[in-house]
Chain A
């Protein structure tokens, strides 16, 4: 972050981020393209990791990298012979690490590196209406808020001796859910009031301070996603990328 540069620049464009956010789960978890798109199930996790490192989010990056390497080794060592319980267990872990984890890492990258201003601008460029964009940005803002509230409430419960197994354990869910909802409701109302006094409902065309030009890295990543979809579409027509390469 350069001092005096108040429009924080992300490495990639919000539109590229949205594209990755949609594409990664489709291929890693939804299994689009099956065997033909296997190469992408290797590339996409690397993209997540790369973006995390470049945005200096080393903690998530290193955890992701280690987990990924560990599972790949374990998988190739064990999967061939075994079946049954061990296989299923390993599969569950592998499923999380190879499928869910890269997607989660990408979400972490996108959420931590995208400002609301960028997000709204990106969505505008894709012609997505405010009715979707504004609640979406509230959702992303609200996740950490709920986390904070839940944390504070848990602490209070622990201090007051409401825990599993105790006399008060019957109410444990109710005691947790109700204060969270009460506080969320209150925060929501205050948030709306504050946002409205800051011109949220203005009918004027919104401007934005962020830079949303496409750069070379955006074009490369978009092309990568496009290739993945292409492989999938071709496979639907019986043209298999894997065989084409072999030929």
Chain B
């Protein structure tokens, strides 16, 4: 049983470990009792303090993140605050949001053994547990691999497996699906379902509800560091998607993105035609990829000009690579793309496409929001830049450092740069991953604004709600067609 009695926490301002988006993740006056064996979902808008709550339970607060702590967190009657982190580690396993940063080891098998090795468990026991976990999680094919060669979905599976080897009683999930596509999310769901069936205590902080909804015993809704609602199973079943969106929450019953019905192109549309697009990494030392070895091999894909097109896929492989090829970043892509009856060469595409990447941290370089837009303009012009910032509602932050913005704001800034670049085609790679309902809505509105400016918007996304909200065309993507 987990008990929080009158818990409050404020991050220290000089704490260097909080991106300031989460700085307001402080908590006040939290009272919560979580029964053993229940599956609790913590949800609420970004910055509401749900991650902070998880950190209080696994002991990262106060042992890692420092700040002002009030009240008491008890697990099975013992206070967590006094125990060193390594003792909590035996009981509590945490899966984090970012698949790139939660592995200490380079190979998967060592990662699975890491926790147990640190705790000094007998090697034979560890080996049999790893074997058992690999079987039950269906990840035999991922063993003895370098984590740098795994997809994000596979990495999250390894993260789940690595805590499973330690047999924790309590499992904490901090937005584990934020970087995953639909397919990988549903696989993650199966792993979590195993834990739920075994009667482990599972606490998940998530925006995306649909993949967990039918398993949840209880939803704790938070806002501004407080618990504002606490629903039990019966109350949950009565909530419709409409009720949820009024609460600022994502839909609980999203269909698979591939099942949404939208035309790929209509007869009235002007089109960009990808007659063929092939891309393969070098296969071996001498062999370049031969036909059949392509990672991407697409024929006759049509994209409507001046519309918002969603690109969805049953399986997320190759989508990002496809975008890279489309906007001309991959030199080795072999393509035949036609626009207005003439070929659209790679060099020209590089100057006509703008891509907003999934991790916006990689594409914001300057020291202020205004400067970021200025360098994107073909000719620097402050009035123009300010106007663009106004359209994405960031004028008040123009002097801020881009890295001091929240996730949703960074996304908007990247869109502002796209507008400033005055390019006609704007590509997005999962623009709503990790965003809450409110921010998702904002992005959807901006997409429509872009279209009204006459831009062709192409979005790779797995977010069904987002597609239903703003997309007009949809292409089902298969890396080989």
Contact = CB atoms under 8 A, between A and B. Distances in A.
Interface in A54-107: 58-59, 62-63
A175 to B, nearest CB: 4
Q: Which of B88, B93, B110 has the most CB of A within 10 A?
A: B110
Interface in B83-136: 84-86, 88-90, 92-94, 96, 98, 100-107, 109-110, 112-123, 126-127, 130-131, 134
B106 A199 contact: no
Given A160-B376, A197-B60, A202 B120 contact: yes
Nearest to B101: A190
A186 B123 contact: no
Contact of A197 (B92, B105, B113): B92
B118 A199 contact: yes
Given A148-B148, A156-B357, A160-B363, A190 B98 contact: yes
Interface residues of A, number: 65
B229 interface: no
Interface string A141-180: 1001100110011011111111000001001001110110
A127 to B, nearest CB: 19
Interface stretch (A1-9, A29-37, A235-243): A1-9
Nearest to A134: B104
A170 to B, nearest CB: 10
Nearest to B86: A202
Given A59-B284, A190-B102, A201 B357 contact: no
B99 to A, nearest CB: 10
A173 to B, nearest CB: 11
Interface string A126-150: 0000000000011011001100110
A191 B109 contact: no
Contacts of B197: none
B64 A152 contact: no
A156 B363 contact: yes
Nearest to A151: B362
A190 B162 CA distance: 16
Contacts of B350: 158-159
Contact of A115 (B109, B148, B375): B109
Nearest to A168: B375
Interface in A194-216: 194-209
Given A155-B329, A179-B362, A117 B118 contact: no
Nearest to B105: A116
Contacts of A219: none
Contacts of B230: none
A155 B285 contact: no
Interface in B3-43: 16-17, 19
B354 A159 contact: yes
B144 interface: yes
B88 A197 contact: yes
A194 B101 contact: yes
Given A160-B376, A193-B60, A195-B104, A186 B144 contact: no
Interface in B361-379: 361-366, 375-376
B329 A158 contact: yes
A6 B361 contact: no
B86 A203 contact: yes
A58 B302 CA distance: 41
Given A6-B130, A159-B354, A171-B366, A209 B117 contact: yes
B72 interface: no
B403 interface: yes
A192 interface: yes
Contacts of B84: 201
B58 interface: yes
A15 B30 CA distance: 52
B358 to A, nearest CB: 10
Contacts of B103: 141, 191, 194
Contacts of A189: 16-17
Contacts of B162: 198
B120 A206 contact: yes
A206 B104 contact: no
B127 A191 contact: no
B66 interface: no
Contacts of B105: 115-117, 137, 141
A199 to B, nearest CB: 4
Contact of B285 (A59, A159, A187): A59
B331 to A, nearest CB: 10
B327 interface: yes
A160 B417 contact: yes
Contacts of B403: 182
Contacts of B417: 160
Contacts of A179: 361-362, 364-365
B190 to A, nearest CB: 21
A63 B117 contact: no
Contacts of B203: none
A233 interface: no
B90 to A, nearest CB: 7
B63 interface: yes
Nearest to A1: B144
B86 A209 contact: no
A202 B100 contact: no
A202 B113 CA distance: 14
B86 A201 contact: yes
A71 to B, nearest CB: 18
A220 interface: no
B251 interface: no
B476 interface: no
Contacts of B58: 197
A22 interface: no
A63 B60 CA distance: 47
A234 interface: no
Given A141-B106, A198-B104, A200-B104, 9 more contacts: A117-B117, A118-B110, A141-B104, A152-B362, A159-B363, A190-B96, A194-B96, A196-B89, A198-B166
10 nearest interchain CB pairs?
A: A199-B118, A156-B363, A190-B101, A202-B86, A175-B365, A204-B120, A194-B102, A199-B89, A115-B110, A116-B105
24 contacts: A1-B143, A6-B134, A58-B284, A58-B285, A115-B109, A116-B105, A116-B114, A137-B104, A152-B362, A160-B375, A168-B375, A176-B365, A183-B362, A186-B361, A189-B17, A190-B96, A193-B64, A193-B96, A195-B104, A198-B166, A200-B86, A207-B122, A207-B123, A208-B113
